[in-house]
Amino acid sequence: MYEHLIFFDGECPFCHRAVRSIIEIDVNKRFIFAPLGGETAREILTGPQAPLKKANSLVLVEDYQSTERKFWIESRAVLRVYWLVGGWGLIGIFSFFPGFIGDPIYRWFAAHRHQFKLRIPDAPGPKERFLP
């Protein structure tokens, strides 16, 4: 059922809303979620991926239960989510472009996202879609 894992900033209202949006379009339930500061991140983001825990980015772990995991950050992570959801291929096809095209915009937005004065929703989605 859940093939891919998305780590997000659990203290960011915009990130919570992004997770809700992904859950809405993920009709095949391919994604599961966990906060970057949580137990799951400590278990999976180790070794060469350890710096991703401090990334100012959503982190996508494609095929997270496999030994062939692929890690995506910044604009390519978001675009890859659309590719993997299916039906959103026109947007997702841009995940195959080099990151230097969309990453500056992503980095600017990530650096300023806390200025948007949004409230963290009570629950970003169904509890069964979240790991600790």
- Tens of pLDDT, residue by residue over 21-57, are 899 889 899 999 999 999 999 999 999 999 888 887 8
What integer best gives the mean pLDDT of the chain? 81
**Domain locations in the chain as residue ranges:** 4-129
What is the DSSP secondary structure assignment for residue 79, as one 8-state letter?
A: H
Q: In this prediction, what percent of the chain has a pLDDT beyond 90? A: 36
Rounded Cα–Cα distance for residues 11 and 36 (Å): 10
**Residue with more model confidence, 113 or 16:** 16
pLDDT at 2 over 90: no
Among 37-41, 56-60, 86-90, 118-122, the minimum mean pLDDT is found in 86-90
Rounded Cα–Cα distance for residues 80 and 22 (Å): 12
